[in-house]
Amino acid sequence: MTNYFRSNVEAMASYVPGEQPPRGTQVIKLNSNENPYPPSPAALAALQNIDGEWLRRYPEPFGGEFRQAASQVLGVPSDWIIVGNGSDEVLSMVIRACAEPGHKVVYPMPTYVLYRTLTEMQAADILEIAYKKDNVLPLAELIAANGAVTFIASPNSPSGHVVPSDDLRKLASELSGVLVIDEAYVDFAEESALDLVQEYENVILIRTLSKGYSLAGLRLGFGVANPKLLDGLFKVKDSYNIDAIACAVATAAITDQAYKNACVAKVKASRTQLTSDLKELGFRVGNSHGNFLLTQPPERNAEYLYQKLKEQKILIRYFKQPGLEDKLRITVGTDEQNQILVRALSDLLGMRN
Ligand code: PMP
């Protein structure tokens, strides 16, 4: 067959997300870090209010209504916010605006796999630097690499750890390229790097409504940065990247902080419970600040447990990446879902003893 593709695309492996079974399938789905609770009633009401006229017309191209609402919640001016079709699209805008072939894109490993995919698409050079023991950031190496773009997820996935703010500040001040601080899971953590955005014009913070706000299907994420940095991102953005429905529903959701905070509090309490239940079964469990746990089963039988749970229609995440071979990432579900999972794991481990 004729090769139609750019050489970097030809060489790429496709990004493989966790299994997404068709809606209505009876599964306990703990593999994509979705929130187990429904979105805010205010968001669902906003959905009901959408009529044909909204759909007939093109949407407002910058998600202005959402930017206003997010600006109130975060305490930054609305022109410091850029909205994307999921935070994945904001990450993509950063790469498209800031990295070209010959430029280095740098990030500590293991982390969110999309950073690699986006860099490969852009045909920029990838430099992956391993985390040191106990999730210590390889700070000196990251600074020495001085990438055109440096990605740091905090809380990180799949480890769930938060990168110390002093390390982030050091990176922001030492790097001459852009520092992306991906806070997709920040709603489940105790701290944010929002202040750094106001201090350093090379920093962009990435947020999403997919996790804390239970809106993964809506596809709405956003970036917060100095307007000088956002200027370049607006140039590469699709004309109408935020549809009218997503903008209206997300605006209602972010305005309803009380509902989000209540769901987050439930998830955090369940995270504590699930951590201790897994430890009781002999799992090693990292301290997580996200809505998921990275665990190592007692007999290093991660792939076996993942497969067996899947047969029982319980989906969790098994990664084949170096450094994660023996590990499983489990999204925190409702207490009922977590108990079913723990019971299944306990049975499986019993069967093998
Ligand atoms: N960043 C990290 C670290 C993630 O794990 C995810 C979700 N898988 C995203 C960003 C993207 O989330 P979304 O596109 O749904 O906003």
Average pLDDT over residues 206-214: 98
Q: How confident is the model at residue 230, as a pLDDT?
A: 98
- When mean pLDDT is compared across 195-199, 248-252, 296-300, the lowest value belongs to 296-300
* 15: pLDDT strictly greater than 80: no
Average pLDDT over residues 126-152: 97
Residue 20 Cα to ligand 1 middle (Å)? 15
Residues with CB under 6 A from ligand 1: 86-88, 112, 153, 157, 182, 184, 208, 210, 216, 221
**Which of the four pLDDT bands, split at 50, 70 and 90, describes residue 101?**
very high
Whole-model pTM: value is 0.96
Residue 1 Cα to ligand 1 middle (Å)? 35
**Which of the four pLDDT bands, split at 50, 70 and 90, describes residue 284?**
very high
Q: Which ligand 1 atom is at minimum distance from the Cα of 219?
A: 15
Across-strand partners of 81? 224
- The more confident residue out of 105 and 320 is 105
Q: Which ligand 1 atom is at minimum distance from the Cα of 111?
A: 3
* 352: pLDDT strictly greater than 60: no
Residue pLDDT, tens place only, 215-252: 999 999 999 999 999 999 999 999 999 999 999 999 99
Computed over every residue of the chain, the mean pLDDT equals 95
Residue nearest to atom 2 of ligand 1 (CA): 184
Average pLDDT over residues 111-127: 96
Q: Which ligand 1 atom is at minimum distance from the Cα of 220?
A: 16
Q: How confident is the model at residue 1, as a pLDDT?
A: 66
Query: Taking every pair of C-alpha atoms in the chain, what is the biggest distance, in angstroms?
Result: 63
* 16: pLDDT strictly greater than 80: no
* 3: pLDDT strictly greater than 90: no
Mutate to test the pocket of ligand 1, among 182, 215, 329 (most ligand atoms within 8 A of CB): 182
List phi, psi (to 5°) of 92.
-65, -40
* 10: pLDDT strictly greater than 60: yes
Average pLDDT over residues 87-99: 98
Residue 87 Cα to ligand 1 middle (Å)? 6
* 351: pLDDT strictly greater than 60: no
Q: What is the number of other CB atoms lying within 10 angstroms of the CB of residue 218?
A: 22
Residue nearest to atom 1 of ligand 1 (CA): 184
Residue 197 Cα to ligand 1 middle (Å)? 20
Residue 230 Cα to ligand 1 middle (Å)? 20
Q: What is the number of other CB atoms lying within 10 angstroms of the CB of residue 21?
A: 12
CA 163 to mean position of chain CA atoms: 15
- The token pair that represents 51 in the structure block: 């009529």
Q: Which ligand 1 atom is at minimum distance from the Cα of 89?
A: 14
Residue pLDDT, tens place only, 30-54: 999 999 999 999 999 999 999 999 9
Residue 210 Cα to ligand 1 middle (Å)? 8
Q: Which ligand 1 atom is at minimum distance from the Cα of 112?
A: 3
- The token pair that represents 95 in the structure block: 């790469």
Q: How confident is the model at residue 353, as a pLDDT?
A: 41
